[in-house]
Structure 1
Amino acid sequence: MELWFEVVPWLAAMLILIVMSGFFSGGEACMFSLRPADRARLAAGNRTQQLAARLLNESDRLLSAVLFWNLMINMTYFAVASIISFRLDRLSAAGSIWPYAFAAASLLMLILFSEMLPKTLAVLSARTAAGYFAPPLAVALRLARPILPVLQAMNLFSRRLIWPRFQPEPYLEISDLGRAIDVSTSDADLAEQEQMVLNRIVAMSNIRVDEWMRPRTQFLAFRPPVDWMDLEGRMTPSGYLLVTDPQGGDVCGAVDLMELYELPVGNVDREASPIVYLPWCATLADAFQQLYQLDRDVVAVVNEFGDTIGILTYEDIMDAVFTNKPSRSERLMNRQPIESLGEGIWQVTGVTGLRQLAADLNLQLPPTRSTTVAGVLQETLERLPVEGDTADWGPLALRVIQFDGHTRMLVELKVNPAESDQESTP
Structure 2
Amino acid sequence: MDDISTSTLAIILGVLVLISAFFSSSETGMMALNKYRLRHLVSKNNIPALRVHKLLARPERLIGLILIGNNLVNIAASAIATIIGMRLYGDYGVLLATIGLTVVILIFAEVTPKTLAAWFPEKIAYPASIILTPMLWLFYPFVFGLNSITNAFLKIFNIKPANENGQTLNPDELRTVVNDANSMIPRKHQDMLLSILDLEKVTVEDVMVPRPDILGIDINNDWKVIVKQLNHGQHTRMLLYRTTVDDAVGYVHAKDILRLTSKTQFSKETLLRAARKITFVPEGTPLNNQLLHFQREKYRIALVVDEYGDIIGLITLEDILEEIVGDFTTNQIPGANDDYHKQKDNTYIVEGSANVRDITKELGWKLPVDGPRTINGLILEYLEEIPKPNVSIRLYGYPVDILDVNDNAIKQVRVHVDLYKAKKAKKP
Q: TM-score, normalised by structure 2?
A: 0.44
Q: TM-score, normalised by structure 1?
A: 0.44
Greater Cα radius of gyration, structure 1 or 2: 2
